[in-house]
Amino acid sequence: MTLWQPGMRITDDRLNDGPPTLTTARGLVPATGFTVSDFRGYRTGHNVELNMYLFRSGATIAVSGAGNLADTACCTVPAGWRPTSGTINGNWDDGTAEGGFVIGTDGICTLRTTNGEPIVGEATTAGSGRNLRLHITFIQD
């Protein structure tokens, strides 16, 4: 990114020189009962996008009548890729069910809600565990 100084000339290259895009595919740590299938992080300037693909390998996560899950930590995002203030809301889906999750400044992603479908784990239904896709975009301070 060009840091403009007095006396610099305006050129096409300098005008088109935006902030660099950083990417990562490493460092996502699964919580107990989950396995990381894929992870991609993208950052341009202060904008961060995270795509996490997890397999539920633990017991089924039950759903209350209102679509609420018991808060269930599913993974931890690496340092440098976390919100810098507050808790941010994101969405997840598994092709059948969908819901919400949050990520805090500690990087822990916590499943919170679903549209009523339990999140099935391999341990209780012989090989029919679910693949959860989590997506979130936020601005770092």
- Averaged over successive runs of 10 residues, the pLDDT of the chain (141 residues) comes to 71 72 95 96 94 92 81 96 95 90 97 83 57 95 85
| Per-residue tokens: 17 | 């020189």
pLDDT at residue 128, as a whole number: 56
pLDDT at residue 126, as a whole number: 42
How far from the centroid of its chain's Cα atoms is residue 96's Cα?
19
CATH of domain 12-139: 2.60.40.1830
Q: Which residues contact 40 (CB under 8 A, 6 or more apart)?
A: 23, 24, 25, 50, 51
pLDDT at residue 137, as a whole number: 96
> Which residues sit opposite 56 in a β-bridge?
34
> Looking at this protein, which amino acid is placed at residue 108?
I
How far from the centroid of its chain's Cα atoms is residue 24's Cα?
12
Question: pTM of the full predicted structure?
Answer: 0.83
pLDDT at residue 122, as a whole number: 57
| Per-residue tokens: 107 | 């990087």
